[in-house]
Structure 1
Amino acid sequence: MTQPAVQRTDANRTGPNRIDTTRPHPARVYDWFLGGKDNYPVDEELGRQITSIDTGALRAARANRRFMQRATRRLAREAGIRQFLDIGTGIPTEPNLHQIAQSVAPDARVVYVDNDPIVLAHAEALLRGTPEGVTEYLQADARDPRSILEQARHILDFDRPIALSLIALLHFVADEDGAYELVEALVDTLAPGSCLVLSAMTADFEPENVQRGIAAYAAGGVTLVARSQAEMGGFFEGLEVMEPGIVSVADWHPELSATGERLDGDGPVSLYGAVGLKP
């Protein structure tokens, strides 16, 4: 595919430092959950507060990360998908999506999208892909699909299948803020054979723990939305949900882990995950 030059937004063009380290930030708290080092004491404080009242939060975050890795591996290996669009990327934590995809298919094309200055500051780590493939980072707001698609079209071929990843993103977008419309606008542009990979928080399994976690985030200035399995199903309207359906991320093909072992402990975690195929 012939493509025009793309203006890549990366870490060495961030301009003035706009990162506020006096308030906890969801991406940095998540990084702390995953055992990362790109967080500050205020993030660790909130993370420890959340894990003290929501005992499954840390396991859920790690299970969610492994769900992304397994889904990416399966789509690259078994479905033959060679293009990936990851929106709401978050702070890089290895192995990242492009590392999984390009380990299976070195020529895979991966586009990361985020508008957070914290992620932007670490974007350079997301651009170290294979020489055969393409790995790009775009700065855009997840709530602005038109801008995302306009930029991504310079890199991805929307006439061919794309795996759209919305991992742990939509619980930050309320229904009244257009969560379902956002997903619909993105999926509508995808070619047949494309897939939606989605995970989001639920209170179906551990309602008391999750509500306490939501309250802790709210005290830190972050609003979260927990959705039921039926509400999650609304994101997959018109898609064929692959087996095993909409399940706890820990229960989505654990046999596809890199080691072939289940690493997420016993029982479900409070995030649903699923992969839908566009007919």
Structure 2
Amino acid sequence: MERAGWVPDSVDVGLPSAARLYDYLLGGGHNFAADRALADRFLQAQPNARTIARLNRSFLRRAVLYLIDRGVRQFLDLGSGIPTVGNVHEVARKAAPESRVVYVDFEDVAVAHSRMLLEHDDLAAVLQEDMTRPDDVLYAAEATGLVDFAEPLGVLTVGVFHFVPPERDPAGVVAAYRDAVVPGSGLALSQFTADLQPAEMAGIVEVMKKSMNPMYPRSRAEITDLLTGFDIVEPGVVPLPLWRPEDDAVEEADPARSGIFAAVGLKK
């Protein structure tokens, strides 16, 4: 059945979304026929898409663990999408069981399933908010009682900022979150770029125009500018598999094929 019992009545299952596309590429089951059809076209434009999704999820894990090592015990996951294996609270709590997580997304299916998953979890919550409205997000996050802005906070924008159009002032959005957190906080960011595989990226942009989430790739310089006010940790703004690979192993023979730059910055 295309409409499971937990799918809100307001969801148009015929209109594909980026969150459900990502879920499908990761092998999840919270997607519909329209999302799978979009994924087929996405894979035609970028045959490496499933690997890229896996690499992005792996970066999220490494970034969370890095911030845990730096003493961060609370996270704000912006554009968190549909929960799959390797959620932030699962990763963080294996290293620090007291870790608190607030997930933020505006997509109905992502929020509905997140609420099911977190129903009995006192250290995690999900908010249905637009991450490009930081004042609303920050107010709602604090209201959960799980975020204390007097303590270092890990802000996660992993695989999501390429959906923020230029007219929504992405640099201003990041700056608002940066200004709200104390020194010692961190920002993890990954986003598609045309610098690495321009032809494939052009194809992806065309495919995503037919979804509810058009895509806006950015150059390495533009992504670096988003991190203004943060100390960018080594190795800097790099292709996904090159950001602090575990055991010095690169997960992709040609890192440029990841199509995404990733970085972590620490609040000065």
Q: When the two structures are superposed, what TM-score results if normalisation uses the length of structure 1?
A: 0.88
Q: How much does 1:40 deviate? A: 1.2
Alignment partners' CA distance in 1, 2:87 and 2:262: 18
Alignment partners' CA distance in 2, 1:188 and 1:58: 35
Alignment partners' CA distance in 1, 2:228 and 2:234: 16
Gaps of at least 5 residues in structure 1 are: 1-11
C-alpha contact 2:7 2:109 (8 A) present in aligned 1: no
Alignment partners' CA distance in 2, 1:129 and 1:228: 41
C-alpha contact 2:18 2:211 (8 A) present in aligned 1: no
Q: How much does 1:251 deviate? A: 1.1
The question of 1:275 aligning with 2:261 is answered: no
Distance 1:128 1:63, change over 3 A: farther
Tell me, what secondary structure is at the counterpart of 1:150?
Answer: helix
Tell me, what secondary structure is at the counterpart of 2:255?
Answer: coil
Corresponding letter in the other structure for 2:267: K
Q: How much does 1:246 deviate? A: 0.3
Q: How much does 1:95 deviate? A: 1.4
C-alpha contact 1:164 1:195 (8 A) present in aligned 2: yes
* Map 1:88-127 → 2, pairs under 5 A: 88-127=79-118
Task: Note the alpha carbon deviations across 1:165-199, whole angstroms, 9 max, x for none.
Answer: 01111111112211111110111010010001111
Corresponding letter in the other structure for 1:26: A
Tell me, what secondary structure is at the counterpart of 2:265?
Answer: strand
The question of 1:62 aligning with 2:54 is answered: yes
Match of 2:183 in 1: 192
Task: Note the alpha carbon deviations across 1:96-118, whole angstroms, 9 max, x for none.
Answer: 01100011000011111112111
Q: How much does 1:238 deviate? A: 1.4
Which of the numbers 159, 164, 176 marks the counterpart of 1:168? Answer: 159
Q: How much does 1:219 deviate? A: 3.0
Distance 1:130 1:150, change over 3 A: closer
Q: How much does 1:36 deviate? A: 0.7
Q: How much does 1:211 deviate? A: 0.4
* Map 1:1-279 → 2, pairs under 5 A: 17-76=9-68, 78-127=69-118, 134-153=123-142, 154-255=145-246, 262-268=250-256, 269-279=258-268
Tell me, what secondary structure is at the counterpart of 2:209?
Answer: helix
Gaps of at least 5 residues in structure 2 are: none
Alignment partners' CA distance in 2, 1:96 and 1:192: 25
C-alpha contact 2:141 2:147 (8 A) present in aligned 1: yes
Q: How much does 1:137 deviate? A: 1.2
Alignment partners' CA distance in 2, 1:123 and 1:137: 7
Higher mean C-alpha displacement, 14-23 vs 114-123:
14-23
C-alpha contact 2:21 2:31 (8 A) present in aligned 1: yes
Higher mean C-alpha displacement, 197-206 vs 169-178:
169-178
Cα RMSD between the aligned structures? 2.0
Tell me, what secondary structure is at the counterpart of 2:263?
Answer: strand
C-alpha contact 2:124 2:146 (8 A) present in aligned 1: no
Q: When the two structures are superposed, what TM-score results if normalisation uses the length of structure 2?
A: 0.91
Tell me, what secondary structure is at the counterpart of 1:230?
Answer: helix
Higher mean C-alpha displacement, 264-273 vs 181-190:
264-273
Q: How much does 1:222 deviate? A: 3.4
